[in-house]
Amino acid sequence: MIRRKSTPKVSRERAITIAMNHNCVPRGIAERYTDSELKEVLRQLKLKADF
């Protein structure tokens, strides 16, 4: 039986931190990102949102 790796799931707070670093923006701007914008950043890094 082949075991597949599960995709890591990320909380909203962690997604904000990742978006800050990925897009080189300050925390205040990253906190105003919508859920879909945060999910787009996570999709580019092959992560899944848990919010």
pTM score of the predicted model? 0.82
Indicate the angle between helix axes 12-23 and 35-44, nearest 10 degrees.
70
Are the beta carbons of 49 and 14 closer than 8 angstroms?
Answer: no
The per-residue pLDDT for range 9-36, each reduced to its tens digit, is 999 999 999 999 999 999 999 999 999 9
Whole-number Å distance between alpha carbons of 16 and 26: 10
Indicate if the pLDDT at residue 1 is higher than 80: no
Name every residue whose Cβ is closer than 8 Å to that of residue 42 and which is 6 or more positions away in sequence.
Answer: 10, 15, 18, 48, 49
Give residue limits of the domains in the chain.
Answer: 9-49
Q: How much is the pLDDT for 3?
A: 84
Answer for the pair 15, 35: CB distance below 8 angstroms, yes or no: no
